[in-house]
Amino acid sequence: MTVSAGEVKKLRDLTGAGMMDCKAALMETEGDIEKAVEYLRKKGIASAQKREGREVKEGAIIAYVHPGNRLGVMVEVNCETDFVAKTNDFQLFSKDIAMQIAATNPMAIQREDLSKEIVEKELDIYRTQMKEEGKPDNVIDKIVQGKLEKYYQEVVLLEQGFVKDTSKTVKEYLLEVSGKLGEHISIRRFVRFQLGEEI
């Protein structure tokens, strides 16, 4: 069976896989584009190889409004290709993240996004508490560090327990979906609105 260059290009545009891989997939599936896409995904070739710092310019902006219309979230989740952005798995992940933000009200996506002032303020509070409890100086730093880690788990999105399955963190859930889809996935930004909150 012969495969046209146009068919190969079409499959490549859909999957991001290499020309030879696309040609082989079309030969294997007798020119059926849908079956070729499935074939490539099963083989793991359609998933672009993970590269450090690879750009993620595709994705989706998802809005979630909590029943009662008093709380809403918008989140931007990015991936490498438009093909993956349109998959049910990616869309479901993005919706889950919007719902997570609605439920837990995180302050940042990762701990590096928190300002030094906020972290220092928390550390000062913990140190003061420990001193007032009469803890010896040589153990205060260890306790304070432990409290800071717990604080990160509460206010940093990727470190929070995933609300639908608390046995894993949001980061672990993200890595699962990323592995399944074969692309780098990134939560870029979010905004959370609560009716009547101070601006």
Question: Tell me, what's the pLDDT at 76?
Answer: 97
pLDDT score recorded for residue 43: 66
Closest of 193, 189, 198 to residue 78, by C-alpha: 189
Together in a domain, 105 and 160: yes
Is residue 9 assigned to a domain?
yes
Q: Do 90 and 160 fall within a single domain?
A: yes
User: Are 36 and 122 part of one and the same domain?
Assistant: no
Question: Does residue 37 sit within a domain?
Answer: yes
How is residue 24 written in tokens? 């082989």
Helix-helix angle 116-132:137-155, to 10 degrees: 130
Token pair for 54 = 């690879």
Q: Are residues 169 and 74 in the same domain?
A: yes
Q: Identify the CATH number of the domain in which residue 21 sits.
A: 1.10.8.10
User: Is residue 161 included in any domain, yes or no?
Assistant: yes
Residue 28 in domain: yes
Helix or strand or coil: residue 172?
helix
Number of domains in the chain: 3
Distance CA 45, CA 38 (A): 10
Q: Within a domain: residue 49?
A: no
- pTM value is 0.69
Mind listing the pLDDT tens digit of every residue in the chain (199 residues)? 788 888 888 887 776 666 778 888 898 898 888 888 888 766 654 443 443 356 778 999 999 999 999 999 999 999 988 999 999 999 999 999 999 999 999 999 999 999 999 989 988 888 888 888 888 888 888 888 888 899 999 999 999 999 999 989 999 888 888 878 888 899 999 999 998 877 6
Domain that holds residue 135: 115-154
